[in-house]
Structures are given as structure tokens and as C-alpha cells.
Amino acid sequence: MRMAQYTVQVQNDMMIVITDDDVLDLPSITNSAAEVISHLNSRCGGLGARRVYYRDTIGRFDELRHQKGVFLQFSPCKPSQQESFKELLQR
């Protein structure tokens, strides 16, 4: 299945933050969440307990919840998290 093209902005022991590259004719991260999590799990040597956050094409941050690299559900970020992630990516 086709998958969103994305960029890893932050990667550490606690989290991974990705942004949607918004490529024409490819699905968004939102529309290919399971594939993105699976790809990240392979690409990063296993996600483990790291949380995965993403900025979608309209600039909103949400979490892609997973269990050991298998997508479970979306979880909205709080307003304070929205601001923190915006500031983090501006550095």
C-alpha cells in the first residue's frame, strides 16, 4: 500500500516527531498511519515505548499511538503540547 512521505524532525529515547511532506498523489500521514508506524518501527530499529507525534498538512500535532510498532489509534495533543512542538521544530 502507498504511504505518506514524511520527515523525522526529532528522534530520541522518549519520542519521535515527524512531519508530513505533503507530496501530491500520496496519502497523508493521517491516511496511512498504520504503514507509517510500521515503516518507522523498521527504520528506527524498533519503536519500543517511544511515543510518535506528527504534524499534519494543516500544522496540527497529534500522536500516533502504537504498541511495539503496531498502530493502535490517534490521540490529540493538548494545546500546551501544540505550542511545545511548534517551538521545538523552530529551533
pLDDT in tens, 5-48: 999 999 999 999 999 998 999 999 999 999 999 999 999 889 99
Question: Which residues, 6+ apart, have CB-to-CB distance to 23 below 8 Å?
Answer: 4, 5
Find the mean pLDDT for residues 49-73. 94
What is the domain count for the chain?
1
82-4-56 Cα angle (round to 5) = 15
Q: So what's the pLDDT on residue 1?
A: 67
Q: What is the pTM of this model?
A: 0.93
* 66 lies in some domain: yes
Residue 1 lies in a domain: no
Hey, what long-range contacts does 56-59 have (CB within 8 A, 24 or more apart)?
A: 56/20, 56/28, 56/29, 56/30, 57/20, 57/22, 57/28
Please give the residue range of the domain that contains residue 30. 6-90
pLDDT exceeding 90 applies to what percent of the chain?
Answer: 87
Within a domain: 54: yes
Q: Is residue 28 part of a domain?
A: yes
